[in-house]
Amino acid sequence: MAPTNGVPPPPKKRRIGVMTSGGDAPGMNGAVRAVVRTSIHMGCEAYAIYEGYDGLVQGGDMIKQMLWDDVRGFLSRGGTLIGTARCMAFMERPGRLKAAKNMILNGIDALVICGGDGSLTGADLFRDEWPGLLEELVSNGELKADDTQPYQHLNIVGLVGSIDNDMSGTDATIGCYSSLERICHAVDDVFDTAASHQRGFVIEVMGRHCGWLALMASIATGADFVFIPEKPPRAGWEDQMCGIVRTHRQRGKRRTIIIIAEGAHDVNLTKITPNQVKDLLTQRLRLDTRVTILGHTQRGGQACFYDRWLSTLQGVEAVNAVLEATPETVTPVITIRENKIERSDLMEAVRLTKSVSKAIEQKDFDKAMELRDAEFKEYYNSYMITTSTDHPRLRLPPEKQLRIAIVHVGAPAGGMNPATRAAVAYCLTRGHTPISIHNGFPGLQRHHDDKPLGAVREVKWIDVDPWVNEGGSEIGTNRGLPSADLKKTAECFELYKFDALFVIGGFEAFTAVSEMRRARAEYPSFRIPMVVLPATVSNNVPGTEYSLGSDTCLNTLITFCDAIRQSASSSRRRVFVIETQGGRSGYVATMAGLSIGALAVYIPEERVDIHTIARDIGFLRHNFANDKGASRAGKIILRNEKASATYTTQVIADMIAEEAQGRFEAKAAVPGHYQQGGKPSPMDRIRALRMSIKCMQYIEGFTGKSPEELMQDDMSAAVIGVQGSEVVFSAMGGERGLESVATDWKDRRPKAEFWLGMKDTVDILSGRPKAGTPCRECGRPL
C-alpha cells in the first residue's frame, strides 16, 4: 500500500507511545524504560514523545522510536530524560488536532502518560475527542479516510508521577518516596545542630494542596508539630503548638522541629508562614529558632528503591493494560494499594483528587481528610497520638491498663527503633506501662535482675524519642530463643507481670513466639497476647509481604550497586557479581535486580547450575560484542548468599572471567553487613509507626480475657503483615495457622513467596534469554 498525503501505511507491529508530563519526579525514567522494553518484549514498537504534550503537538523529531539499548542506564537517573514542558497549545482543540495528526503520521494509537492529575485529565480528554479529531482531519483535507481507518480507537493509560502523592485512589505516586527521602535526610542533618545549640527549626516542604510530604516527614523525623492543608490547626493553635514544645523541652528534649507544608493555612484559610511560626517560638518561648526552606532539592536526585520498583512494575502493567484494552475500556490509571499493583478508573481518581481541593476551599476539612484515603487519616491520627502523650481523654481506666513487654529478636533491621518509640508513645498515651527487654531473650534469661541496671526496664518517653531515626537496635537484639531456657523465661514473665508481649524481629522472632505459644500448656505465664512485627532485611517472615528494614536494606544496596556500575561502565567491558544478603530467601536479590536493571539474579529458590552460568556467559558475550562503544555498558549480576554452595560469588566471577577470553573482565563484590544500612529509610520509619500502633490496638482487643480464653484463642499469638492490598493479623497456631500451612521451616521462609513472579520481570527487562533459546553466536540452544 503506497503512502497517501505523506501518511505511511499502518505498521506491521503495534506502536505504543510513552511520554512524561507536568512536574518531573524521580522514577519517571524507570517507567519509560519499563514501557519501552516491555513493549518490545511483547512484539510492539515503542516511541518516546519528547517534552511532553509539546512534543506531541510539534511532532517531527520530537517523536522518536526507542530501541532496547536506548533506555540503558535510565533507572539510576533523576528527573525525566525524555523531557517535560508546559504546553498551552494542547489545552486548545487546534493543538490537540495537531497532536492527533502527528500520532497517525507515526502510526501510534496508544499512549502511556506519566504525570500529575492535570496531565492525565488532558490525556482522557484527548481520548474522548479522538473520533471527532479524526473526522475533522479528514473533513479539512489534512488526511484521507483510509489514513485514519486503522486508528479509530485511542488507548490511554495513566501513570501518576508526582512528588506530592496527591492522587486519590493510590497509596503512592512515582517520586513521592524519593522526595520524602530528600526531606528526611535534610531534617536528620538539622538534628545535630539543633540539639547542639538547643535550637528550634521551622522547615518548609513542598505541598501546595496536599500535606502528604509534610505529614510523613513529621512522622519520620519526630517533628513536634506539623501544618498541612487538609487538617489545619484549630483556633488557638499558637497556644497548642507552644504548649507541646514547652512540654517536650521540660522533659529534656534539646531540639524542636516544626514542619510546614507550603500550602499551610488556618481554619479560615489564612496562610501560615514559616516566619510566622518562627516568630511565635522566638517571642513566646524565647527559643532560638531558624527557618529552612528546602525548595527544589526535594524534587531532584536519583530515585530511591521504592520509586524504581514502583515505576518499573507500573510501567509493565501499563503496557499490559494497553494490549488488553477494548474500545469500551475506561481509561485506566495504574495505582498501588499496600503491596498490590492495580488498575483504577482514571477520571474517578482525578474527580476525587479535585474534590479534596474543593473541600478545603469550602472549609470542610473532615471531608478533605476522608477523601485523601483511609491510610492518610490513619497516619495523621497516629502522629497526633505519639507526638504528644498528654491526651487525658485517650487514657484508659486503671483496670484496662497493661504492662506490655517489648523485645527485639534476630539480626538488626532498620525500623526496629522507630517501631519501639511508637509503641512506647502509644502505651504512655493510653496509660499502659511499656517495658523494654534488653538484649533479647538471653538478656531476659541471664540478666533480668542485674544490678544496678537489669535487662527489664520500664521506659519513659524521653528515653525513646531520639530513636525516631536511629538504625540498629537501641535495646539490643540477637538470635537467642526462649527454648534456651523456657522455664526461666516463663518465670521472668511471671515475675515482671507481663500482660502482653510485642516482638519485633525476623524469622527468629516468629520462631520465639511459636515456641512460647506451644509451651502455654506447661507455662501459664505465656497465656498472654503476643504479636510479631516483622523486621528483617530478608523479608522472609510468614504472614507478610513486607518487613521493616527491607526497604532500608534495598536503598543501601542499590546505592552500592549504582557506584559499582559506575566503575564497571567506566572501563566499559566489565561485569560485577555482587553478593546480597537474604538467607534462603531471594527477595533482596530479586528486588534489587528489578531496581538496578541487573543482567541476571541467582537465588536459592531457583537452581543455579553450570548450564545457567554458561547461558549467561553467552548472553554477556553477545552484549559486549554488540555494544558498539555504548556508554553505561557495565553489567551487574546479583547472587544471593545462599544461592549455591558450589557456585560462590567468587567462583562465578572467575568462571565468567575465564570464559570471556579477554573480551571483558569480571569482578566479585560483597557488601556484607553494609546492606543492613545506617539510618532507617523514611518508608521503614513511617510504616514502623503505623504498624506498631496497630499492634498495640490489637493487644488492647484482648483486655478482659482470661488466660484460659487466651490459650484457646488462636489469634492471641499473631503476626501483623501486609498481604496484597491489606494490612492483616494472621494467627500463628491452629489448623490453618501460619506455623502449619504457610511456613517452610527448613529454609526459614514462607512456603508461598509473593515476589517470585517478579523474577521473570527482571529477566524480561534485562533481555536475558531463557533456557533453550538459540545462541546468537552459534545457533545452539542455550
Residues in binding site for substrate:
162-164, 199, 206-208, 262, 290, 296-299
Residues marked active site are found at: 164
The alpha carbon of 153 is separated from its chain's Cα centroid by a whole number of angstroms, namely 35
C-alpha cell at position 22: 507536568
Element (H, E) at 23: none
Question: In a 10 Å sphere around its CB, with 0-12 CB exposed, 13-18 middle and 19+ buried, how is residue 295 labelled?
Answer: exposed
C-alpha cell at position 699: 493487644
Helices 346-361, 365-372: crossing angle, 10 deg rounding: 160
- The two beta strands, 63-66 and 45-49, are antiparallel
Read off the amino acid at residue 725.
S
Choose among 406, 502, 462, 419: nearest CA to 686.
419
Residue 252: CB atoms within 10 A of its CB come to 11
CB 688 within 8 A of CB 422: yes
Residue with cell 513529621: 218
Residue set of the binding site:
23, 86-87, 116-119, 162-164, 199, 206-208, 262, 290, 296-299, 479, 536-540, 574, 581-583, 641, 667, 673-676, 748
Contacts of 628 (CB under 8 A, 6+ apart): none
Residue 230 and residue 353: Cα distance in Å, rounded?
A: 12
Distances in Å between the Cα of 531 and the Cα atoms of 557, 689, 712 are 29, 15, 16
Residue 573 and residue 632: Cα distance in Å, rounded?
A: 10
Beta-carbon-side half-sphere exposure of residue 60 (alpha carbons within 13 Å): 3
Contacts of 236 (CB under 8 A, 6+ apart): none
Residue set of the binding site for ATP:
23, 86-87, 116-119
Contacts of 475 (CB under 8 A, 6+ apart): 406, 407, 408, 420, 436, 437, 438, 439
Phi-psi region of 778 (alpha: psi -120 to 50; beta: other; left: phi over 0): alpha
- Nearest-10 Cα torsion for 301, 303, 305, 308: -160
Distances in Å between the Cα of 290 and the Cα atoms of 20, 245, 573 are 37, 15, 50
Question: In a 10 Å sphere around its CB, with 0-12 CB exposed, 13-18 middle and 19+ buried, how is residue 216 labelled?
Answer: buried
By three-state DSSP, how is residue 109 classified?
Answer: strand
Choose among 145, 109, 170: nearest CA to 325.
109
- Nearest-10 Cα torsion for 585, 590, 591, 596: 150
C-alpha cell at position 637: 549480576
Helices 305-324, 756-766: crossing angle, 10 deg rounding: 80
Size of the chain in residues: 782
DSSP strands (E only) in 39-86: 45-49, 63-66
Choose among 321, 15, 41, 322: nearest CA to 150.
15
CA-based Rg of the chain, rounded to a whole angstrom?
28
Residue 293 and residue 187: Cα distance in Å, rounded?
A: 11
Residue 422 and residue 253: Cα distance in Å, rounded?
A: 17
CA angle 497–498–504, rounded 5-degree value: 160
DSSP at 269: -
Q: Which sign does the torsion angle of CA 542, 544, 550, 552 carry?
A: negative
